[in-house]
């Protein structure tokens, strides 16, 4: 029987076969720029007014959120502890039978969701919803602060105790809206009004949060840093456009939405598609794919957390391509975008290798016949995989980053296969 140490050594040796001959630090991750009035002032005069209004709206809404919480806490002898963190989605099932959403169990979850809606209309992330409703003075969300923070960290909150207060990250806000819409549909009478009212507030929040160029930030009201970027990470923009599409078409529980709001939702979705097309990266004049997030003003790919550098992102790009292929009667620009994006994914695929777990680590190992694999990030100039670490260093091989990051992040994935599968059918009618 082979020893654990020998097994680890063998697999690491195999992984080196797929690594560059001379691994090196190839750069440092530069923090993303926030969306500020100073940056807007540098725009062409015709573009400034919309962005200035957007920033002021964000500030006004954030001030109102804070004022509401402060008012609640006046006279309290103790501030309630934050609600428990956890996998939000598991506590808000969306595929149960229609009648379940009228049950006391579903209504209890819905009541908790409504209680945690911010005055601006959104929700925080990573919060259990099958828990008691929010208490007076209780935070709208937890701190969501990384356990690895150091001075100068890209993920350092701009303000302690105020983090992700209204976000689209990790399915937040969009999942709450989809759940509430189902409960509202199951309770068509007066008892369902409270849930439908919360949905309408949430839809208005999403429309207000949309950038003038059609994208959405990760956090709104704006929080600063990379949270202000057009965010494709974890399908954030895709989740928002899905909900707005439901609202525009009056389905999946959104049948009560007025025609006027439906029209606004449809316009917002159309603007989002335009943003997707504008942010598709061109290299040497040729369309490729997208970054994980793009600067709100320049639309160039930008960084996020310390170990997430500006790059071409395979998984997020696959999600955007699948979304574009679902559009009925796509324009020539959309068709060209899809063909180019899929061509890039095919060329970037890694063959006959697998990203596997070993004792205390993960490695890239040769494996003939393995499913196609993609690196999470690709360099703009070389087209080769790149990897980041908590110290903001960028590497050309995964073996050179810290073990903690190697084990704790999805550096390789098979997600783009879903785009290739969809393309096989889509391309037959869109040659």
Q: Which residues are catalytic?
A: 170, 305
Could you tell me the strand order of the sheet in which 393-395 lies? 25-28, 393-395, 387-388
How do the residues of the chain divide into helix, strand and coil, expressed in percent and rounded to 5?
45, 10, 45
Q: Which residues pair with 209 in a beta bridge?
A: none
Spatial contact of 419 and 412, defined as CB atoms under 8 Å apart: no
**Given the structure tokens 């494996």, which residue do they identify?**
367
Distance, CA of 377 to CA of 379 (rounded, Å): 7
Spatial contact of 322 and 330, defined as CB atoms under 8 Å apart: no
44 SS3 class: coil
Q: What angle do CA 62, 66, 67 make, to 5 degrees?
A: 115
φ, ψ of residue 146 to 5 degrees: the values are -65, 145
- E strand or H helix at 242, and its extent? helix 236-249
Distance, CA of 379 to CA of 311 (rounded, Å): 6
**Given the structure tokens 């935070």, which residue do they identify?**
139
Question: First vs last Cα of the chain: how many Å apart?
Answer: 54
From 342, 339, 351, select the one nearest 418 (Cα to Cα).
342
Tokens of 108: 């209890």
375 SS3 class: strand
Q: Which residues pair with 302 in a beta bridge?
A: none
Tokens of 147: 């356990």
Cβ neighbours, 10 Å, residue 262: 17
The two beta strands, 286-287 and 293-294, are unpaired
Distance, CA of 291 to CA of 268 (rounded, Å): 21
Q: What angle do CA 367, 369, 371 make, to 5 degrees?
A: 90
φ, ψ of residue 200 to 5 degrees: the values are -60, -40
Distance, CA of 354 to CA of 392 (rounded, Å): 26
């Amino acid at each position: 029987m082979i020893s654990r140490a020998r097994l680890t050594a063998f697999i690491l040796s195999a992984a080196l076969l797929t690594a560059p001959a001379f691994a090196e630090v190839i750069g440092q991750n530069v923090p993303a720029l926030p969306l500020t009035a100073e940056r807007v002032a540098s725009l062409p005069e015709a573009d400034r007014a919309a962005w200035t209004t957007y920033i002021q709206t964000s500030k006004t809404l954030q001030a109102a959120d804070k004022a509401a919480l402060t008012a609640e806490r006046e006279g309290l002898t103790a501030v309630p502890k934050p609600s428990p963190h956890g996998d939000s989605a598991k506590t808000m099932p969306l595929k149960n039978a229609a009648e379940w959403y009228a049950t006391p169990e579903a209504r209890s979850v819905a009541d908790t969701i409504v209680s945690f809606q911010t005055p601006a209309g959104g929700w925080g992330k990573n919060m259990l919803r099958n828990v008691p409703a929010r208490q007076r003075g209780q935070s709208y969300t937890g701190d969501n602060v990384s356990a690895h923070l150091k001075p100068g960290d890209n993920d350092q909150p701009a303000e302690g105790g105020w983090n992700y207060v209204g976000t689209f990250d990790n399915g937040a806000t969009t999942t709450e809206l989809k759940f509430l819409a189902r409960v509202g549909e199951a309770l068509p009478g007066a008892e369902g009004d409270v849930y439908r009212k919360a949905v309408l507030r949430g839809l208005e929040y999403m429309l207000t949060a949309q950038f003038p160029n059609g994208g959405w930030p990760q956090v709104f009201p704006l929080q600063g840093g990379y949270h202000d970027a057009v965010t494709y990470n974890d399908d954030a923009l895709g989740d928002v456009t899905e909900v707005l599409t439901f609202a525009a078409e009056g389905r999946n529980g959104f049948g009560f939405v007025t025609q006027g709001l439906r029209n606004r939702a449809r316009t917002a979705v159309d603007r989002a598609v335009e943003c997707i097309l504008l942010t598709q990266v061109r290299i040497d004049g040729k369309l490729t794919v997208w970054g994980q997030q793009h600067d709100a003003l320049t639309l160039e790919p930008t960084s996020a957390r310390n170990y997430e550098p500006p790059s071409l992102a395979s998984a997020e790009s696959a999600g955007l391509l699948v979304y574009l292929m679902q559009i009925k009667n796509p324009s020539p620009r959309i068709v060209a975008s899809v063909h180019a994006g899929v061509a890039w994914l095919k060329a970037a695929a890694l063959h006959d290798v697998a990203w596997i777990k070993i004792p205390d680590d993960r490695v890239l190992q040769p494996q003939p016949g393995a499913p196609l694999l993609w690196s999470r990030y690709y360099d703009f100039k070389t087209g080769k995989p790149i990897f980041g670490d908590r110290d903001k260093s960028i590497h050309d091989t995964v073996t050179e980053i810290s073990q903690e990051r190697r084990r704790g992040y999805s550096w390789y994935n098979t997600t783009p296969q879903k785009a290739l599968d969809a393309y096989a059918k889509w391309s037959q009618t869109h040659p």
